[in-house]
């Protein structure tokens, strides 16, 4: 606060040299400065301010030089970024046994033993099962994929989208071989989420995204659809899913290569009337009351979702699972009373129960009869 000074006690004031200049008087001492000390003080106290001013001048000078070389610096940054991306892709391809895809202008997709680029490296408890994918505009334009919950339908269709994206960005892909027809865009309707900020329900978000696909996709696009119609009632959802699939198949302007994963097993009947629709399913094996997921995509449809088995894995109480099986049996049997009321609330007879149930009447399968 006071700078630099020499403090002399009052007992020694008679020894102070003549060139000392009094600076401050205290009760028991005097403080003095000298011309040399004052000069040193100015240097020390002004050094920080001068260093900041010098640093700013140097910074300004560097900035001016950088601005003058902006074009060269940006070009170098782009070159380094490109090299970084290519080197990373090359290292990943070599490390994980990726193969070089063949890109073509034809509207086709032929992937052999394709793997999910992320899960293939993250899975530790089991080996990732590779799968083939065949899509074209002749026989396999729209693939209906059915299968149990947790079997891997969503993983499979996302895998295909990722492999196409990787191939078109210049990367090798995790597959034994692949011939990929270039796509103009990849449209996806995957996942379930609402938009509270805009006041849109999960189903509304699903329909908005589906509308965007139907209104903007072309015959050069790749479309990935996962569980269209699940956000509303069963009949409404099935009707919408059916209509969307027909539109994608029948409309020449939107005749895009499509993977359509669904739990609506009735959609497999589209293959009977639509020549470019093919059914595929995710293989499972039943072992007693357990289900083993094989993760393999096979040709053909399926008529079971094994939702109750998944509920068992999640830990639902046994009485809830038993009751769900009863209701499921009645639903699958289309059980109704003579009065036309459903028997969903009917419990199975227990030992010793002699009560007679009302006569069952079978309802027709609307889709099959139609």
**Residue-wise pLDDT tens for the chain (370 aa)?**
678 899 999 999 989 998 899 988 899 999 999 989 888 888 887 888 889 999 999 999 999 999 999 999 999 999 999 999 999 999 999 999 999 999 999 999 999 999 999 999 888 778 899 999 999 988 899 999 998 777 889 999 999 999 999 999 999 999 999 999 999 999 999 876 656 656 567 888 889 999 999 999 999 999 999 988 887 877 888 899 999 999 999 999 999 999 999 988 889 999 999 999 999 998 888 777 777 888 899 998 876 777 777 787 778 898 898 888 888 777 766 655 555 555 555 566 555 554 444 444 444 454 444 4
- Co-location of 168 and 291 in the same domain: yes
- Co-location of 61 and 135 in the same domain: no
- Co-location of 303 and 343 in the same domain: no
- Co-location of 300 and 336 in the same domain: no
Backbone angles phi, psi at 305, to 5 degrees: -110, -15
Task: Look at residues 25, 44, 68 and tell me which one is the last residue of a structural domain.
Answer: 68
Residue 262: inside a domain: yes
- Co-location of 303 and 340 in the same domain: no
Residue 205: inside a domain: yes
Residue 277: inside a domain: yes
d(CA 69, CA 312): 66
Residue 238: inside a domain: yes
Q: Is the dihedral of CA 180, 117, 284, 303 positive or negative?
A: negative
pTM: 0.71
Residue 89: inside a domain: no
- Co-location of 301 and 336 in the same domain: no
DSSP designation for 160 = H
Whether 288 and 153 have beta carbons less than 8 Å apart is answered as: no
Radius of gyration, CA atoms only, the chain:
38
- Co-location of 29 and 138 in the same domain: no
- Co-location of 199 and 135 in the same domain: yes
Whether 134 and 110 have beta carbons less than 8 Å apart is answered as: yes
Tokens of residue 369, six digits: 């009869």
d(CA 87, CA 110): 27
Task: Look at residues 290, 309, 328 and tell me which one is the last residue of a structural domain.
Answer: 309
d(CA 7, CA 5): 6
CA distances for 260 relative to 91, 155, 250, angstroms: 34, 12, 15
Range of the domain at 256: 101-309
Task: Look at residues 309, 327, 346 and tell me which one is the last residue of a structural domain.
Answer: 309
**What count of residues does the chain have?**
370
- Counting other chains too, the contacts that 308-316 makes at CB distance below 8 Å and 24 or more residues apart are 309/148, 310/148, 310/149, 310/150, 313/150
Backbone angles phi, psi at 32, to 5 degrees: -130, 160
Residue 81: inside a domain: no
> Could you give the number of structural domains in the chain?
3
- Co-location of 105 and 232 in the same domain: yes
Residue 95: inside a domain: no
Q: Is the dihedral of CA 196, 202, 207, 212 positive or negative?
A: positive
The beta strand positions in the chain, using DSSP E, are 6-9, 21-25, 29-33, 102-104, 108-114, 131-136, 142-146, 177-181, 186-189, 222-226, 257-261, 277-287, 290-299, 335-336, 361-362
- Co-location of 131 and 262 in the same domain: yes
Q: What is the CATH number of the domain that holds 39?
A: 1.10.1420.10
Whether 262 and 289 have beta carbons less than 8 Å apart is answered as: no
DSSP designation for 262 = -
- Co-location of 159 and 292 in the same domain: yes
Task: Provide the pLDDT for residue 347.
Answer: 60
- Co-location of 137 and 187 in the same domain: yes
Residue 166: inside a domain: yes
Residue 2: Cβ-neighbour burial (10 angstroms; 0-12, 13-18, 19+): exposed
């Amino acid at each position: 606060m006071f700078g630099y000074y020499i403090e002399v006690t009052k007992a020694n004031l008679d020894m102070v040299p003549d060139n000392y200049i009094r600076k401050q008087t205290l009760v028991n001492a005097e403080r003095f400065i000298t011309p040399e000390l004052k000069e040193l003080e100015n240097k020390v106290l002004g050094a920080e301010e001068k260093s900041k001013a010098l640093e700013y001048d140097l910074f300004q000078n560097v900035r001016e030089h950088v601005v003058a070389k902006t074009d060269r610096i940006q070009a170098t940054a782009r070159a380094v970024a490109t090299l970084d991306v290519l080197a990373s892709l090359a290292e990943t391809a070599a490390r994980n046994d990726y193969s070089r895809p063949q890109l073509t202008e034809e509207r086709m997709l032929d992937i052999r033993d394709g793997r999910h680029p992320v899960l293939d490296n993250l899975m530790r408890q089991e080996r990732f099962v590779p799968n083939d994918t065949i899509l074209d505009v002749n026989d396999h334009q729209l693939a209906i994929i059915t299968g149990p919950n947790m079997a891997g339908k969503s993983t499979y269709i996302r895998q295909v989208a990722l492999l196409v994206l990787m191939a078109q960005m210049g990367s090798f892909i995790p597959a034994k071989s692949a011939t990929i027809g270039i796509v103009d865009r990849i449209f996806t309707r995957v996942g379930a989420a609402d938009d509270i900020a805009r006041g849109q329900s999960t189903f509304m978000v699903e329909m908005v995204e589906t509308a965007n696909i139907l209104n903007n996709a072309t015959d050069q696009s790749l479309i990935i659809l996962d569980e269209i119609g699940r956000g509303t009632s069963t009949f409404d959802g099935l009707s919408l899913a059916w209509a969307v699939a027909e539109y994608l198949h029948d409309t020449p302007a939107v005749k895009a290569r499509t993977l359509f994963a669904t739990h609506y097993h009735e959609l497999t009947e589209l293959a009977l009337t639509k020549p470019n629709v093919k059914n595929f399913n995710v293989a499972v094996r039943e072992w007693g009351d357990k289900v083993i997921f094989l993760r393999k995509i096979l040709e053909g449809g399926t008529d079971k979702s094994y939702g109750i088995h998944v509920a068992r894995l999640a830990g639902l109480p046994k009485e809830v699972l038993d009751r769900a099986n009863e209701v499921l049996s009645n639903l699958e049997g289309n059980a109704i009373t003579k009065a036309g009321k459903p028997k969903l609330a009917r419990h199975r007879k227990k030992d010793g129960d002699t009560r007679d149930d009302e006569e069952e009447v079978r309802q027709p399968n609307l889709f099959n009869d139609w």
